[in-house]
Amino acid sequence: PEESAPVRRLLRYSADTAGGLMTPEPLILRPDATVAEALARVRNPDVPPALASMVFVARPPSATPTGRYLGCVHTQRLLREPPSDLVAGMVDAELARLHPESPMSEVTRYFAAYNLVCGPVVDDDDHLLGAVTVDDVLDHLLPSGWRDRESATNGVPATLEVQGG
């Protein structure tokens, strides 16, 4: 079925790569979208905060894998621009991209170097495949069950050992 296509695409990648960590449903807009349209998407309560930190701009189709990826627009920038302006005029095309085969060590360095909470995963043909969030990275690096240990200590974080990276 059509709903399982994004999951099948994720399963093509190792779990410890950008492709294995990414969500296939980031906020994607066409270049002719307005700031108002972008902010309406960001305000959707079903969008996790890390994914709402930026919108990705690509040529159609606007579902992953997209048409040609053009870049991203940070939500902070959207908040400072007139609602009728087009996102095409404020695209950050210079932000480094993650490749779906980027290993975990490269993904963690990416987030540390660029101080972001979300980053684009783009293939060799310039199609946006998805986005990795810092939450995805932390969930992968922290030991399984770490949330359970925190709740068992009444909200006080238990001592954690970060898994190799």
Q: Would you say residue 143 lies in a domain?
A: no
In a domain, 163, yes or no: no
Specify the CATH number for the domain of residue 100. 3.10.580.10
Does residue 70 lie within any of the structural domains?
yes
- As a whole number of angstroms, the distance between CA 28 and CA 143 comes to 32
What whole-number percentage of the chain has pLDDT above 70?
A: 82
- Residue 72 in contact with residue 94, Cβ under 8 Å? no
Q: Residue 131's closest CA among 3, 45, 40, 6?
A: 6
- pLDDT bin (cut points 50, 70, 90) of residue 62 is very high
Identify whether 107 is part of a domain: yes
Picking from 73, 102, 95, the residue whose alpha carbon sits closest to that of residue 13 is: 102
pTM above 0.85, yes or no: no
Distance set, CA 129 to CA 2, 51, 148 (Å)? 16, 14, 32
Number of domains observed in the structure of the chain? 1
Indicate whether 157 pLDDT > 80: no
User: pLDDT for 99-155, tens place per residue?
Assistant: 999 999 999 999 999 999 999 999 999 999 999 999 999 888 887 776 666 665 666
